[in-house]
Structure 1
Amino acid sequence: MCDTPAERELAQELASFRPELTPAYLAALPGARAAVLARLWRGLVHEPLPWIADRARGGDGISVRLTDGRRLYGPPSDPWATGTAVAAVELDGVPYDHPAPLMAALKVPGGEPFADELDHSTASLALSRTAAPPAGPPSEPWEWEQRSPEGHPYHPTCRSRPGFSAAEQLAYAPEHRPVVGLRLTPVKGATVRGPWPSQWRDGETVLLPVHPWQAGHVLGGRPLLPGPPAHPLLSLRTLALDHHVHLKTALSTRLTSQVRDISAYSVDHALATSALAARVAERLGGRLHITRTLAAAGAGTPDLAAVLRESPYVHAGTDEQVVPVAELAGHFATHDPHRRSAHVTEFARLALGVCLELLDLGVALEAHGQNLLAVVDREGRPRRLVYRDLADIRISPARLARNGLPAPPMTGRLLEDDPAVLRRKVLGCLLTGALGPLAGSTAELGALLEAATRDLPPTADLLALRTEELPVKALTLMRLSPAGDRWAHLPNPVRGAAER
């Protein structure tokens, strides 16, 4: 039964053009509600929300007192647990089994639009779960990016896709494994960085590749030509043109936390950022590959731009595969428990060692489950890392200078010297996007961090990781506030693991 506007809308669309999917969609709705409600409850229990007065364990769950005196009550919440489901949360004794009506009932600042996003997230997650499961191991490298319907493991808007109809989700979302026909639009006077492909030029005019959703919903009235076919990846608006080249497109809608456009700043600095990051990564002796930015072009507005990148798959050797970190849990799940534990620890040691060493040199990666990939051998062991999408890294001029590296050839938002900001960038993404989901609980994360960091070089950043509270993005607070990145600080489980 469909209880909310987004659920009903997707159901009506399916009934009109894919009626055979309707039973599966309706059957998936209760589980999708419980999964998104669990993510929302995690935020209500663990994030610094200004309208929450205190939290306390009581009975078999957690009681949350609001500043206006009302009370929420729900089950225990481990901030690092994944794959959890919450059947209901009570507000002053009234049970809510759907995250959107619960958020609307809270009547807090920003709650109404956030409730709409939660509605979209739930309905879209149910639709994602109708995707046929993969038939065997991947035969093409991009198929690793199309195996899971779940989205971000901790984000309550893990599947929010406002503006996407059911037909568009089935046509463009990676979990449904479509081939997407891109469009080309002519742009005179475009900003171009790098060698733009000759087949995408018409004299002095640049033919800019455009996602078909963007063409239909944002760029109305522009001339459009047929573009190449491509395979959608984890981020949906980034697609594999072939085994060698990936294309990042602008998509002016809010997926999870951000509107997925491409700023003029990113276009202008794309090649310089790529060259700098690759040069610094050379200091790591081959443990990290940076996917090179091949070219970038834009019309000067964030809704009309594109970036061509080297595919991460080119960094796989014979009998190796390149697996996005977001899919490593599924990859390791095929191993026996002892081997899985060993490989997870190997990956954690490699990822923390690489990210902390690069941070010490002066580059803070946004190493979450989409941007970071692991090169695994035929035994499933992680051997090296690949990093893609440099648009939101941070670069420390002071740290580069301290290590004898050239100053960055740029100004603006990518530059940052504050140690706390740099650590948040690296650790917040690596913990919530990679290590937390692989661990699956606070206790397991503590043990994993203790084992993975025991023999790493003793830097100030490593000391902070082992002794200070762990920074994580306050994902619920961010959707209730327009102020950009907001942070929560969770108890550090490393000390308890070391004591055990």
Structure 2
Amino acid sequence: MRRPPTAEAEVAEELAAVRPALLPRYTAELPGARAAVLTRLWRALVHEPLPWIGERVSGVHELTLRLADGRTLHGPHADPYATSAYVTGVRLGRERYDDPARLMTALAVPHGPAFAAELADSTSSLALSRAGADHSKEWPERDWEWEQRVVDGHPFHPNCRARPGFSVAEQLAYGPEHRPVVELGTLPVPAAECLVAGDWPAELRDGDRLLVPVHPWQAAHVLKRPGVPWRAAHPLMSLRTLALPGATHVKTALSARLTSSVRDISAYSVRAATPLSSLAEDLAARTGGLLHITRTLGAVTANSPDLAALLRESPEVYAAPDERVLPVAALATTALPDSPAWLAAFARLALTVGLQLLDLGVALEAHGQNLLVVLSADGSPRRLVYRDVADIRISPARLARHGITPPALTGRLVTDDETALRRKLFGSLVAGALAGTAGSGPALAEALRAVLPDLPHTADLAPLREGPLPAKALTLMRLSPGHAGDLWTDLPHPRSAPLPGQG
């Protein structure tokens, strides 16, 4: 079967022109990148409620998926919490596929061709990211250096490294894993045309105009005008958020689809920034020092989600000189998660804080990018730092029950729905951050067994004890372009997860 127009060859051709020394490493990384994306896709096919999969039959040596049109798909037993690339091929009928884009094309399902193109982009971009990765084992000094260690992107999303609209040169220039320095610019906008939250600094004001920080990709591809040079910065995991000199991070609008979402900044987010920051500060103070939430310093939008920016504290301000603060996603680049005792200590800290805030009335989206851990000099987890409150969920009823005045907000952040609140926390923290750190269902189950008896036995704790656990149906979402908002699936409890590739 002929491949669709392949992103792999296109990347190789451009790489030969802009960074020829990297081409051999890129080529060598392609098989592993295909397996990594295919493993994520197979997880989705096995565990998400895809309407064109009729039955899943577990055999002794493999798993069979019966499609609604009568075809069969065969592959290994799937641990939904595994992060190793253990799926190197699956069979559709009699034909074997080792390329996720080819497989999605062959499945011929609604909206499959567009998703296949995204998978091809994810595979080639992942190989490029791995080719340029720094594999040093030295512990970084700065928080942004930790972020550059996270090469593979989202641990469970097939679009873990999809960057449509970015050339190879732009990926090398802006992708954190390539360790670039990005020259940010600003665009002037009349203050009367802007919505501002918090304190917008004097250096970003020019008389009656506000200077809005702009990512160079956004300036070139969306705004179509160059910014005035402003600051050199280091890109973080989210690519559109960058570390400035000192202790400030700037979140820029980036109207490109990365993994699932277009990364702009809405007026709703700007309006919500100040009350959310105040609420977060109040709630963090109730955790006995176990949690810090980075403050939003200022936010602005020029009446457009394509031209907006947000300034917030760097997580580094919450670490002592002998401590390190790093995103949970970067833990996989250390030896720490290999210790069951360390993983249990981290799980105890994360679940204690997450459940406490949920009981108070806020469900954090505590995935491996938003949640950071403060480590002591010997690597012990001491405290947590949470950043980016733009997608938490707030329960006015729970807040009021604890005597906390709910912020004057409406819209998507506000809900009293118990299922929505638990999905937000458990889908990001347990099926996301903790699973990604543990690396497998059995390892995650061992950590949960060690810590669950120590946690308060609230109603919110029940799903962690019995399962199933909620997780975003990331592939179903990409194959449902007409649906707004998140779609969900239920994953079996980690204690019942098989070892990767085994029954």
Same fold, TM-score > 0.5, yes or no: yes
Does the aligned pair in 2 maintain the 1:396–1:416 contact within 8 Å? yes
What is the distance in 2 between the residues matched to 1:363 and 1:140? Answer: 30
> Is residue 4–residue 102 contact of structure 2 (8 Å, CA) maintained in 1?
no
Pairwise CA distance, 1:368 = 0.2
1:5 positional shift? 2.3
| Maintained 8 Å contact 1:83/1:153 | no
Question: Aligned partners of 1:392 and 1:493: how far apart in 2?
Answer: 26
Q: CA deviation at 1:211?
A: 0.6
| Cα distance in 1, alignment partners of residues 290 and 204 from structure 2 | 35
Aligned mate of 1:198, from 198, 202, 208: 202
Q: Which residue of 1 aligns with 2:184?
A: 182
Q: Give identity over the alignment, percent.
A: 60
CA distance in 1, matches of 2:72, 2:135: 43
Matched, 1:209 2:208: no
**What is aligned with 1:262?**
265
> How far apart are 1:58 and its partner, in Å?
2.7
- In 2: Cα distance, 1:47 partner to 1:110 partner: 16
Query: The residue matched to 2:320 in structure 1 has which SS?
Result: coil
Q: Which residue in 1 is equivalent to 2:326? A: 323
Query: Any residues of structure 2 matched to 1:28-427 within 5 Å, and which?
Result: 28-135=29-136, 136-188=138-190, 189-220=193-224, 222=225, 224-331=227-334, 333=335, 340-427=339-426
Q: Distance in 1 between matches of 2:355 and 2:94?
A: 47
**SS across alignment from 2:359:** helix
Question: Aligned equivalents of 1:334 and 1:405: distance in 2?
Answer: 37
Residue 334 of structure 1, CA deviation:
5.5
Q: Distance in 1 between matches of 2:463 and 2:61?
A: 34
Check conservation: 1:237, 1:251, Cα contact below 8 A: yes
How far apart, in 2, do the equivalents of 1:323 and 1:132 lie? 18
Secondary structure of the structure 1 residue equivalent to 2:49: coil
* Deviates most, 433-442 or 71-80: 433-442
Hey, what's the Cα distance between the residues in 2 that align with 1:18 and 1:445?
Answer: 40
Deviations 1:284-318, CA, capped at 9 Å, x for gaps: 11110010000000112111110100111100013
In structure 1, what is the Cα distance between the partners aligned to 2:350 and 2:371? 9
- In the TM superposition, what is the alpha-carbon distance from 1:449 to its structure 2 partner? 1.2
| Structure 2: distance between partners of 1:268 and 1:353 | 30
Contact 1:436 1:445 in 2 (8 A): yes
1:369-419 alpha-carbon deviations (Å, 9 max, x no partner): 000000110010001100000110011000000001112122221111001
Deviation at 1:4, TM superposition (A): 4.5
Q: Are 2:64 and 2:72, in contact at CA under 8 Å, matched by a contact in 1?
A: yes
Q: 1:51 to 1:178 in 2, by over 3 A?
A: same
C-alpha deviation, 1:15, in angstroms? 1.2
Inter-partner Cα distance in structure 1 for 2:488 and 2:50: 10
Instruction: Give secondary structure in 2 for the equivalent of 1:192.
Output: strand
Conserved? CA contact 2:79–2:497, under 8 Å: no
> Unaligned regions of 5+ residues in structure 2, if any?
499-503
Give 1:344 shift: 1.1
Number of the residue aligned with 2:434: 435
Structure 1: how far apart are the matches of 2:291 and 2:380?
Answer: 15
- Which residue of structure 2 lines up, in the alignment, with residue 449 of structure 1? 448
Partner secondary structure for residue 289 of structure 1 = strand
TM-score scaled to structure 2, two decimals? Answer: 0.95
Distance 1:300 1:50, change over 3 A: same
For residues 144-168 of structure 1, the C-alpha deviation after alignment (integer angstroms, 9 at most, x for no partner) is: 1111311111110000000000000
Aligned length: 491
- Return the alpha-carbon distance in structure 2 between the equivalents of residues 183 and 413 of structure 1: 31
What's the counterpart of residue 475 of structure 2? 476
Which secondary structure does the structure 2 equivalent of 1:129 belong to?
Answer: helix
CA contact (8 A) 1:186 1:223 kept: no
d(CA) in 2 for partners of 1:479, 1:496: 25
SS state at 2:382 partner: strand
- Output the amino acid matched with 2:294: T
Rounded to whole Å, the distance in 2 between the matches of 1:132 and 1:480 is 31
Cα distance in 2 for partners of 1:247, 1:229 equals 11
* Alpha-carbon distance in 2 for matches of 1:100, 1:458: 45
The two structures, once aligned, show a CA RMSD in angstroms of 1.6
In structure 1, runs of 5+ residues without a counterpart are none
Structure 1 SS opposite 2:140: coil
Residue identity matched to 1:197: P
Separation in 2, partners of 1:434, 1:223? 38
Structure 1 range deviating more: 74-83 or 421-430: 74-83
- Letter in structure 1 aligned against 2:422: R
Q: In structure 2, what residue type is equivalent to 1:176?
A: H
Report the CA distance between 1:465 and its aligned residue. 2.1
Residues in 1 aligned to 2:122 and 2:86: alpha-carbon distance in whole angstroms: 15
- Tell me the distance in 2 between the aligned counterparts of 1:367 and 1:334: 19
Equivalent residue for 2:501?
Answer: none
Structure-2 separation of matches of 1:160 and 1:204? 40
Distance 1:35 1:374, change over 3 A: same
Question: Per chain length, whose mean CA-contact separation is higher, i.e. which structure has more relative contact order (CA < 8 Å, sep 6+)?
Answer: 2
Q: 1:314-341: CA deviations, max 9, x gaps? A: 000131110110011322x158x5xx22
1:57-107 alpha-carbon deviations (Å, 9 max, x no partner): 235211100011011111221111112232211111111110001101111
> 2:57 & 2:254 partners in 1: Cα distance?
42
Question: 1:428-453 CA distances to partner (integer Å, 9 max, x unpaired)?
Answer: 00023211122222222222112122
- Tell me the distance in 1 between the aligned counterparts of 2:187 and 2:76: 52
Structure 2 residue matching 1:366: 3-state secondary structure: coil
What is the TM-score with the length of structure 1 in the denominator?
A: 0.95
Alignment deviations for residues 36-72 of structure 1 (CA, whole Å, 9 cap, x no partner): 1111011111111111000112352111000110111
Change (3 A) 1:155 1:132: closer
Would you say the 8 A contact 1:100–1:119 is kept in 2? yes
